Structure 1
Amino acid sequence: MSQRFQDSDSDQKKLNQNVRPISECERKRERLYDVTTDVVHVPVLTCEGLWRIYQSRAEDVVAPGGELIANPIERNRAINAAYAKLWLDDPRFQWAGLAAFASKTVGCGLLHARDSIDKIQKEYEASQKIRQPYTLSDLVDPNKVAQHARYERELEAADDDNPFWSINARLPGSSRSLTQEGLLYVYEKMALGNTTLFLDIYPLHLFYAQRGLNEFEECLKKRESIYGHPKFPVQWPVDQQELGFGVDYDDILLGFEALDSGHLAKSVRHLANHEQRNILQPIMYDDWKLDWLLFANHFYYVTRISPLPDIAQPIELTLASQCKRIDDDRTVTFDSSPLADLSDIDQRMAFVLRAARQFDELLRGSSRGLLEQSIRDIAAGQGVR
């Protein structure tokens, strides 16, 4: 079992047994069935109690002190590091190692979206300055002339830095352009998926690492019951109707059974299927607006027929700590067809499983050292820059 997470008294306690000697338990005189008697309150370690412990450890990563990390990029770095540390602690957690790279890629997408939104805004604000009305007296005022020249230089620099300069339409009264609205929508959806998946799957790994497969199987069906407790609220960023908390989908147990028996690639397939079908599909890819934006991005990237081809980003996974693509077998691409659809679960699973196979092959070969160093970099909070 893992040693990294043995930082709680409960880690050493036995399931369904009292957590302290009866002699140390609280005694009270209570009236039961019309008889006054001594009652000993004995705390027992239950499945629900364990799930609360491991769920709270996941929450400590993304919501230290009970407050969700407001900046999705900073939150993503914490998630990336947590996944990476899982794999470093126990390389059997191959899904977590792959997830460190996949989540890092999400962070790169968040960074691109945020930077693009900022560049559009900077160009817009510069253009508003240059459009200020000038009087005849301004034309002979050296200070006004110098100011206007400075505004022109600022606008030119902002235009050069903004790849979206020609598609910056705004609806009347809107504080953001339509392009910014689209980027922000993708940004928020990616952050939501990243956080929700982590809160679902990270506690599963902690439970298995600390308690083993037998107790994991015994307790799995009881996980969802901890949601809604008035004294111990659970951080869950989506509505229960959209995605219920802690549902014991078949692929979860199948994944950890495969892991426990040493079939790591099979374990990754099951957990990836759970990740994509049960978590990300309902909260991200069933959203028609997000699907349209992702499809348009891929179409324009593949066809290069956009008037501004550099704005579209490739859909790919780079098995390295950096955002920039590496032109070797550590980069796995989605699909070269312009009609490929990332929201289609079968097409997306083919991409995910191809990345999983590549990760497994590289771990078995001479590139393992490169992958391990990249995961160490991610664990140290590097990579998304």
Structure 2
Amino acid sequence: MTNNTPNSCVKIDCDCQHVWSLAQEFAFKRLSAKPPVLNKTNMLLYQYNVRARRISATYARFYLETEEHGNPAKKGRYYWAALAAFASKTVACSIEDPRVKTIGTVLQGLGKGNMWLFYEIAPWHWAYSLSSKSFDMCKATRSGDNFVTPILDSIKAMPWAKEALPKINNFKWNELLEYGFNKVKKIESMEPLMPGRPAAQLEHLLSIAKHEQGKILQPLIYDDEDFKWWIQQQRSAWVNWASPALKLVFASSCDTDDPELESVAPRDTMLEDFKSRMIWIDLAAKKFHGLMQAKKYFMEHQLQTIASWVGHQDDQIVTPTMPL
């Protein structure tokens, strides 16, 4: 509908299908190439590392409340997104590592997991920022087959879509998201320096982390037999010396000389095993949480740098793979 009356507004009511279609469109466009590639607009970025850096930027922008519909007065409610910005940056760094580039299965797995996690989790955040009331009314209706036709066509055209959607339960709401977003509401109700707010932030973070690790990444990539085999091989002595260190760096750079700014996985971590992986993620989350309390200015400055990657482009013109 077009409003042809100058200096006036019209009210447009969106049903839940349109809310989720708009939210999904946001995620698709964030990973689209600009300017148009081969005279076609909204083409999926070709390079996995560029996608990962755009994803990192979006998570940072959610936390900083500089994303669409963000509210700076509520900064801190999306605490998981701050940690996720560093995690997706780590994925980008891994993809850029020459040692990883040679292993197609691992490269594909990292690209697939990072992209589909983003397609699943970013729309929840975008829709909540748009309207928490609409979010509450519509959260149970989101589904990979409940979009307007253009978005439905786009999602079906995405890489790995046929495999990914059933494995991640078709974008549907679950109890971990319920708990995590209830904590968002609690954080919103508390003043920044109010006792108990940091604890609520950490509880929110851990709930969303369990969701993304257990409900999305575990079935999508870690249960894949080929991906699992390569991850297991990296623990072998003959491979381990030539593999990237398993760590999370709390900085915009890929690496750091400051051990305070990194979380190194325990030596007995089995990355493909959910429980083992969550032991490390819990440790990493608590270290991140400590840094956010003790070095908040530094951490937010790093997130601002990451947020600036939102416009990163592919290094070269390539044949696009996915039309939107």
Show the 5 A alignment for 1:331-370: 331-337=262-268, 340-365=269-294, 367-370=295-298
Amino acid at match of 1:91: G
Of 204, 223, 240 in structure 1, the residue corresponding to residue 124 of structure 2 is 204
Residue matched to 2:260: 329
Distance in 2 between residues matched to 1:97 and 1:253, nearest whole Å: 19
Residue matched to 1:374: 302
Residue matched to 2:108: 188
Show the 5 A alignment for 1:204-283: 204-212=124-132, 214-224=133-143, 226-227=145-146, 229-233=148-152, 234-235=154-155, 237-239=160-162, 240-262=165-187, 263-283=200-220
Amino acid at match of 2:305: D
1:225 shift after superposition: 6.1
Distance in 2 between residues matched to 1:230 and 1:108, nearest whole Å: 36
Distance in 1 between residues matched to 2:257 and 2:142, nearest whole Å: 40
Residue matched to 1:111: 96
Distance in 2 between residues matched to 1:255 and 1:299, nearest whole Å: 37
Task: Tell me the TM-score normalised to structure 2 length.
Answer: 0.77
RMSD: 2.4
1:71 shift after superposition: 0.9
**Structure of greater Rg:** 1
Judged with a 3 Å threshold, the aligned counterparts in structure 2 of structure 1 residues 228 and 86 are, in CA distance, closer, same or farther, namely: closer
Show the 5 A alignment for 1:1-385: 20=10, 44-64=13-33, 65-89=41-65, 90-112=75-97, 115-116=98-99, 180=102, 183-212=103-132, 214-224=133-143, 226-227=145-146, 229-233=148-152, 234-235=154-155, 237-239=160-162, 240-262=165-187, 263-300=200-237, 306=238, 310-337=241-268, 340-365=269-294, 367-381=295-309
- State the identity as a percent: 25
Task: Tell me the TM-score normalised to structure 1 length.
Answer: 0.65
CA contact (8 A) 1:80 1:103 kept: yes
Residue matched to 1:150: none
1:195 shift after superposition: 0.4
Q: Secondary structure at the match of 1:317?
A: strand
Greater than 6 Å deviation, 4+ residue runs: none
Q: Secondary structure at the match of 1:245?
A: helix
1:312-344: CA deviation from partner (whole Å, max 9, x where unpaired): 22111111111114332221111113xx31111
Amino acid at match of 2:168: L
CA contact (8 A) 2:49 2:91 kept: no
Q: Secondary structure at the match of 1:311?
A: coil
Amino acid at match of 1:187: L
Q: Secondary structure at the match of 1:272?
A: helix
1:221 shift after superposition: 1.1
Is there any run of 5+ residues in structure 1 with no aligned partner, and where?
1-8, 10-18, 22-42, 119-179, 301-305
CA contact (8 A) 1:98 1:356 kept: yes
With a CA cutoff of 8 Å and minimum separation of 6, indicate the structure with the bigger relative contact order: 2
1:228 shift after superposition: 6.2
1:150-185: CA deviation from partner (whole Å, max 9, x where unpaired): xxxxxxxxxxxxxxxxxxxxxxxxxxxxxx3xx111
CA contact (8 A) 2:17 2:147 kept: no
1:243-268: CA deviation from partner (whole Å, max 9, x where unpaired): 33221111112101012102211111
Amino acid at match of 2:272: S
